[in-house]
Structure 1
Amino acid sequence: MKISVSNLNKFLFFKLPSAFICGVRVKEIDENRCVSTVKHRWINQNPFNSMYFAVQAMAAELTTGSLVMLEIQKSGKNISMLVANNKGNYSKKATGRINFTCSDGFLVSQAVQKAIATGEGQTFWMKSIGTNEKGEQVSEMDFEWSVRLKLS
């Protein structure tokens, strides 16, 4: 699959249907940055009238994972990827449309190139920031990714 906004959203539908049903969508992607969006609705709410934390985590992970997938595709190598750890901080109620942005594409590039050069697995942390329609930060998610060259 060629990594693009429309192909990533199709991927969500077929491979991550819970994220798709909750309204998570990729909005933009390039080598350095990925943005996803999700709107607070009945299907993704918590009892406190804001977006459930797991929905925020899905949208945030999508921004980081899409950048990893893009870099692996660019490398042309058979590389596995896995989330090893994650942590999140929630600073404000998530209501309305929330955009998650990850601008850590350069970290992925370094790790993938090192994995290819050394043949050893690499781990690295990526951050995704969630902001509401006013531009206020509502959450910050960190994901530790592991990439490793697969042996043929």
Structure 2
Amino acid sequence: MAVSIGKINTFLFFKLPSAWWSGVRLKFMDDTKAIASVKHRWANQNPFNSMFWAVQGMAAELATGAMVSHQIRESGKKISMLVQNNTANFSKKATGRITFTCEDGHLIKDALAKTIETGEGQTIWMKSVGVNSDGVVVSTFKFEWTVRLKS
């Protein structure tokens, strides 16, 4: 899969400026894995001197959604995507650089094939785990993505 990380980060600037200004960036993506990161700084902190939970959520969602979006584009079909549900767990104060990794890209292809074949919407749960620079998990997000063939 030929993915231009630079194009995706430019997309953030124009279409998701709050993520871009918060420092969220995609670092790596292939068919099965994506990595996004964000560094704790004054502009994205909460009153407790750690990263605001919503900033972590933007980075975590990017690690899942970038793969969904790319595989939809690769399918050549008109398919909509939307987060239907999400859950999050915060296990440690988020300071420094937080890196979110999703390794659930393998789930997307089957969901897209089913929605194309049946015309019915499909859902997949994808997990994005955020770790600090010491490798300690600070938060885990799960996103329920829905994909549906556009009529």
Same fold (TM over 0.5): yes
The 5-angstrom pairing of residues 1-152 of structure 1 reads 3-151=3-151
Question: Any idea what the Cα deviations from partners look like across 1:87-145, whole Å, max 9, x if unmatched?
Answer: 10000000000000000001111101111111110011000000000111000000000
Q: How far off its partner does 1:3 sit?
A: 4.4
Letter of the 2:61 counterpart: E
- Note if contact 1:3-1:69 (Cα within 8 Å) is conserved in structure 2: no
Tell me the SS of whatever aligns to 1:61: helix
1:23-67: per-residue Cα shift (whole Å, max 9, x none)? 000000000000001000000000111000000000000011001
| Consecutive unaligned residues in structure 2, runs of 5 or more | none
For residue 135 of structure 1, give the secondary structure of its aligned residue in structure 2: coil
Structure 1 ranges of 4+ moved more than 2 A: none
8 Å contact from structure 1 (residues 125, 145) kept in 2: yes
Counterparts of 2:108 and 2:17 in 1: how far apart (Å)? 26
Deviation at 1:74, TM superposition (A): 1.3
Q: CA RMSD in A?
A: 0.9
The residue type paired with residue 30 of structure 1 is D
Q: 1:7 is matched by which residue type in structure 2?
A: K
- Structure 1, unmatched stretches of 5+, are none
Amino acid of the structure 1 residue aligned with 2:39: K
Question: Which residue identity lines up with residue 33 of structure 2 in the other structure?
Answer: R
Report the 3-state secondary structure (helix = DSSP H, G, I; strand = E; otherwise coil) of the residue aligned with 1:13.
helix
Give the TM-score normalised by the residue count of structure 2: 0.97
Deviation per CA, 1:6-31, whole angstroms, max 9, x where unpaired?
11100000000000000000000000
